[in-house]
Amino acid sequence: MIRPLRAEDLNQVVELWYCTSVLAHDFIPQEFWYSQKQAMHDIYLPNSNTWVYEQGDCILGFIAYYQGFIPALFVSPNAQSQGIGQQLLDSLKQLHNPLQLAVYAENQRAHQFYLKQGFQEIERRVCEHTQHDEIVMAWQASA
């Protein structure tokens, strides 16, 4: 079930984000992700519109939206390739159009996922926080 993030979900969602970030971005030192945990908990998630994918009492994924941008879409590693990311993205597409996001160029799996979901590359740049190349992608519903 997809539902809005609740305050009591924050710890579980931040832990999901952290563990998944470390695995998906092995080209970035783990210390960077650790250094961002408190900001995710206190700033980024509370100031975004965020929805979680919950199964039973377990949150398996989440998506965040902020001013036309998707700053986060993460699915637990043991729940990936089961359509959860696509369901979260599809639910957001029903609410917001157009959408943009940035994905690390080295994260080829995520890049390919977004291409399959109809996103197109619009820019390549260097991430100011990590100095790694990222790809800005955009999606817009067809008329």
- Extract the tokens encoding 71: 């700053």
pTM of the model: 0.93
Q: How far is CA 80 from the centre of its chain?
A: 13
pLDDT in tens, 23-32: 999 999 999 9
User: H-helix or E-strand containing 42?
Assistant: none
Asked whether the predicted pLDDT for residue 7 surpasses 80, the reply is yes
Cβ-count burial of 123 within 10 angstroms (0-12 exposed, 13-18 middle, 19+ buried)?
exposed
Report whether 17 contacts 73 (CB < 8 A): no
Asked whether the predicted pLDDT for residue 79 surpasses 90, the reply is no
Give the span between the Cα atoms of 86 and 82, in whole angstroms. 9
pLDDT in tens, 55-72: 988 999 999 999 999 999
Domains and CATH numbers, the chain: 2-139 (3.40.630.30)
